[in-house]
Structure 1
């Protein structure tokens, strides 16, 4: 028997007042019960039940341990009942960390649909481009747009996006149009705070370099506004660039210098049980967010 099973057996013996009665109730030999209680006492280093030829009684340590065991068993049974109930009617609090621009554009409506479908789940949405510690900060799931993730992360891919080099026509008219990625070293590059290096593939070869520029921000929309104002060149995700390109505020440049699509992932805590409501929201996002935002270009 494991520790939990021995605790449950001890409760039976204590409440029935007899090794024999506990053995009969469990359908096992009395010697097995006696041996298991003895093993439990040896493990704890204390006597729980005083035995004599006429009677048995709980010691003072046994009385304290009995109350602790009953509380633990009750808690386990309650937890199991709650989990079973959640499988039938998902409920509870759900904390989700979302990237600001992508979250507002593509996830807010989806999550509102999720909330309508599951009225007993309470959503707490945190919109920020900050890289949160999912477990330490108490999030149930975090949505991340990243080219690579930590090996310890539990993830599910829910989509992907592409990156474009863009600049305003006014900037290009004043400073010229870069003809190769190396030309960007002579230009003002609008930098995303969390990524100081730009990576791309040119003629089948991966290239990366550190950008330089006098404007840096931790949000893609802020960089898009700066680019549209003629402040420099930006490497921008398609879900932000699309509207700017469509109305001519920005122009795509260096289209031959491509970057592999970047994954959009649901990241889950790696050190805890994953509740049904978390599985449900991840499945819902995966089903309702296009695997590639390129699918929306014609929309």
Structure 2
């Protein structure tokens, strides 16, 4: 039994809380994982996990061993990476989670360029607007667009995006143009569905953020759908500039309540944990930060 491999497997199982989930991520049979954990427990002479039909839990010995394994594995990875990364081309698997619209419009060209520049990195892209558990999903890095990262999240700010309230000229001709966020309650509003981002709309009123809870005429889990509905004259919606920018430029939508516009959203690279970050992940973060900075400066 290779003890480092066994430690890595034990940590993966403990983080996922499931032998089957770990087996699925690693692409092996569940029986292989079960045998490895059993061999590790026999070697240590102590029970590490208590298995049930629904989920496993760690024993007190298992919890203590888990923390020590994490420290040891991080030290090993740091030691190896520090010796190799200066002379070796970044390589290995790298799975990233990307917001659907921003990912397709802004990040895919950069990621294809990155993949071409670093052919030994096996890049896997997952497009979703859901908030994922990075460890459970086996994701190394996610890009999130939010006003405020989750407390304790390990992040690198890559850029920003402005939220814009919009409606079609036809809708405004029929229903009038709201002059204050208070007036939105009398309009048809188009918002995100609860599973994505069913938060109140926030505006700056007298210089202070103020939330407005609205009754949605229509909901969807994708901003392009809501923007298309607004173009059809179905109501007022609020989205980042990368979703509605082309519609505004073409005159299909008009910006509203600009003097009350909320602070920009941040675009963040978020890591799965504060564990040692593999060289290939750091290379991708630096690449995206550099390329997005070029785009903002107009030099790309």
Specify if TM > 0.5: yes
Within 1, Cα distance between the matches of 2:152 and 2:199?
A: 24
CA offset digits 1:253-288 (Å, max 9, x no partner): 111111101100000011533100000001111111
Within 2, Cα distance between the matches of 1:227 and 1:236?
A: 11
Compute the displacement of 1:290 (Å).
Answer: 3.7
CA offset digits 1:179-222 (Å, max 9, x no partner): 11000011111102213301110231221111212211111111
Q: Which moved more, 1:164-173 or 1:195-204?
A: 195-204
Contact 2:81/2:278 (8 A) holds in 1:
no
Where do 1:199-238 residues align within 5 Å? 199-238=202-241
Compute the displacement of 1:82 (Å).
Answer: 7.0
Within 2, Cα distance between the matches of 1:283 and 1:77?
A: 23
Partner of 2:95: 95
TM-score (norm 1): 0.70
Determine whether 1:143 maps to 2:146: no
Determine whether 1:116 maps to 2:119: no
Where do 1:1-299 residues align within 5 Å? 81=80, 84-87=83-86, 88-193=88-193, 194-270=197-273, 272-290=275-293
Within 2, Cα distance between the matches of 1:248 and 1:231?
A: 16
Partner of 1:55: none
Contact 1:152/1:270 (8 A) holds in 2:
no
Compute the displacement of 1:81 (Å).
Answer: 5.0
Within 2, Cα distance between the matches of 1:125 and 1:115?
A: 11
Q: Spell out structure 1 runs of 4+ moving beyond 2 A.
A: 76-87, 290-293
Q: Which runs of 5+ in 1 are unaligned?
A: 5-43, 46-72
Compute the displacement of 1:151 (Å).
Answer: 1.6
Within 2, Cα distance between the matches of 1:151 and 1:77?
A: 28
TM-score (norm 2): 0.69
Contact 2:154/2:274 (8 A) holds in 1:
no
Q: Which moved more, 1:131-140 or 1:159-168?
A: 131-140
SS of structure 1 residue aligned to 2:134:
coil
Q: Which has the larger radius of gyration?
A: 1
Contact 1:160/1:291 (8 A) holds in 2:
no
Within 2, Cα distance between the matches of 1:274 and 1:81?
A: 12
Contact 2:190/2:236 (8 A) holds in 1:
yes
Q: Which runs of 5+ in 2 are unaligned?
A: 5-43, 46-71
Within 2, Cα distance between the matches of 1:269 and 1:260?
A: 27
Partner of 2:13: none
Compute the displacement of 1:83 (Å).
Answer: 6.8
